[in-house]
Amino acid sequence: MRTIQRTHGFDRSQLRDAAAIAAAMIAVGASFGAIAIAYGLPAWVPFMMSTVVFAGGAQFLAIGLFAAGNPFAAVFAGLLLNARHIPFGMAIGSTMGTGWRRLLGSHVMTDEVVAFTLAEDDPVRRRRTYWLMGITLFTSWNAGTLLGVLLGSAVGDYEALGLDAAFPAALIALILPSLRDKATRVVALTGTAIAVAVTPVLPAGLPVLCALLGLLTLIRFGRGREA
Amino acid sequence: MLFAAILVLGIGTYTMRLGGVLLRERLTLSPALQRLLPMAAAALLAALAGTATLMAGSGFAGIARPAGVAVGALLAWRRAPFVVVVIAAAAVAALLRLAGVD
């Protein structure tokens, strides 16, 4: 874990993480904006999605289905993919504060923000990390969207830049600390195997939720420990 | 139609975000459940990473993307800085494609 520092402000490693993820978000957000334009959607669509929905995976999924002319599927699959925010919210609780802070702060809850927040042990650092990452991601994601819309199809070939590999690699880097716990690792890897295996046969969004079946491995673990 | 669909998706997503947070406050969670929830989150994130690495739609993603992610994962495992992990993954995938391997 990082150096414990209870003074005001952020330490260097937090700011470096925030800058790195902001750069990545600008690039991925730009791809999103450019792809939306390439699909022939009006320019307000990517902007509205990046501010009102603010969930990268669901946004990519939804524009594909919007472009295919199926808004019902887009809403359904998007909500299904975003259902993971319920356990995320339960895991971090009111880390962001109460009252208006909770109402506003909940909106910037994303995979990356949750992962960074859960990596901190100290409650003060947790709150600070949540807001730093939440605001950084919201700002950079929307700046990226604007950039992508402006560049139009110029960034459209995001696969040539390898950006499709950047997103999962970033997620893996974020969850690795929690995977050093053996039970968590078994749950996560089993869940991932299930999700990948069912991807060809289930509608988009459902396979990731099937990863929760990985929790069933705990039944064996729990019994072994208590017996 | 498009406007309404995005609005419903946005409101639904926000409700789930806030809902999870509020549920946590209303319910007193047992220590077992408190241990379970971060695990559930880790499983979902790992599955998101896994499917985004290996699958494109309902088919296999090919070679370049998984290879790039594998290099990134290895670097992360060796505790390389976050930005190095991300750039290396993208660079490996991009270079493989440049070399005609997809």
pLDDT of A91 over the 60 cut: yes
Instruction: Give A153's pLDDT tier (boundaries 50, 70, 90).
Output: low
β partners of residue B59:
B56
* pLDDT score recorded for residue A2: 46
Interface test with A, best of B45, B98, B101 (most A CBs within 10 A): B45
| N-to-C CA span, chain A | 33
The two counts, helices (H) then strands (E), for chain A are: 12, 0
Cβ neighbours around A134 below 10 Å, total: 24
**Are A56 and A153 in the same domain?**
yes
pLDDT tens figures, A2-45? 444 444 567 788 888 899 889 888 888 887 887 788 778 899 99
Same domain, A195 and A92: no
* Chain B contact set for A96 (CB, 8 A): 21
Tell me which amino acid residue A132 is: L
The answer on A204 and A134 residing in a single domain is no
Q: What is the structure's pLDDT at A192?
A: 96
List A residues 192-211 in contact with B (Cβ-Cβ < 8 A): 192-196, 199-201, 207-211
Of B1, B14, B45, the CB nearest to A111: B45
Q: Determine the Cα angle at A164 with ends B99 and A112, to 5°.
A: 145
Contacts of B61 in chain A (CB under 8 A): 164
> Is residue A1 in some structural domain?
no
d(CA A185, CA A174): 13
> CA–CA separation, A4 vs B81, rounded Å?
18
DSSP B13-72: HHHHHHHHHHHHHHSPPPHHHHHHHHHHHHHHHHHHHHHHHHEETTEE--SHHHHHHHHH
Nearest-by-Cβ selection for A165 from B77, B90, B98: B90
Cβ atoms within 10 Å, residue A141: 26
Nearest to A50, CA basis, from A77, A29, A74: A29
Cβ contact, residue pair A169, B6, below 8 Å: no
CA–CA distance from A29 to each of A22, A158, A164, A185, B84 (Å)? Answer: 10, 11, 12, 30, 19
In the Cβ-directed half-sphere of B38, how many Cα atoms lie within 13 Å? Answer: 20
pLDDT tens digits, residue range A178-209? 898 999 999 999 999 999 999 899 877 678 88
Q: Do residue A17 and residue A129 come from a single domain?
A: yes
In chain A, what residues touch B47 (CB-CB under 8 Å)?
A: 188, 191-192, 194-196, 207-208, 210-211
Per-residue pLDDT 10s for chain B (102 aa) are 899 999 999 999 999 999 999 988 777 767 777 788 778 878 888 988 898 899 887 788 899 999 999 999 999 999 987 778 888 998 999 999 999 988
Domain annotation covers residue A3: no
**Nearest chain A residue (CA) to B79:** A173
- Assess whether A185 and A170 both reside in one domain: no
**Reported ipTM:** 0.83
Tell me which residue range forms the domain holding A86: 12-177
Compute the half-sphere exposure of residue A212: CA atoms within 13 Å on the CB side of its CA. Answer: 14
One domain, residues A208 and A144: no
Number of domains in chain A: 2
Cross-chain residue pair A188–B46, CB shorter than 8 Å: yes
Which among A139, A155, A177 is the end of a domain? A177
Q: Quick check: A85 pLDDT over 80? A: yes
* Positive or negative torsion for Cα A145, A147, A153, A158: negative
The span from the first CA to the last CA of chain B, in angstroms, equals 37
Q: What is the pLDDT of residue A5?
A: 46
Q: Is the pLDDT score of A222 beyond 60?
A: no
A160 in a domain, yes or no? yes
Q: What is the mean pLDDT of chain A?
A: 84
Structure tokens at A47: 């902007």
| Shortest Cα distance, chain B CAs vs residue A220, angstroms | 14
Burial class (CB in 10 A: 0-12, 13-18, 19+), A205: buried
Q: Which of A48, A162, A210 sits opposite B92 (nearest CB)?
A: A162
Query: Do A92 and A192 share a structural domain?
Result: no
What residues in A contact B30, CB-CB < 8 Å? Answer: none
Examine the pLDDT at A69 and tell me if it is beyond 80. Answer: no
Residues A77 and A90 in one domain: yes
Beta carbons of A58 and B20 less than 8 Å apart: no
| pLDDT for residue A172 is more than 80 | yes
Q: Are residues A162 and A225 in the same domain?
A: no
Q: Is residue A134 domain-shared with residue A208, that is, in the same domain?
A: no
- Token match 């993820």: residue? A21
Mean pLDDT of A84-111: 91
Q: What is the mean pLDDT of residues A161-169?
A: 81
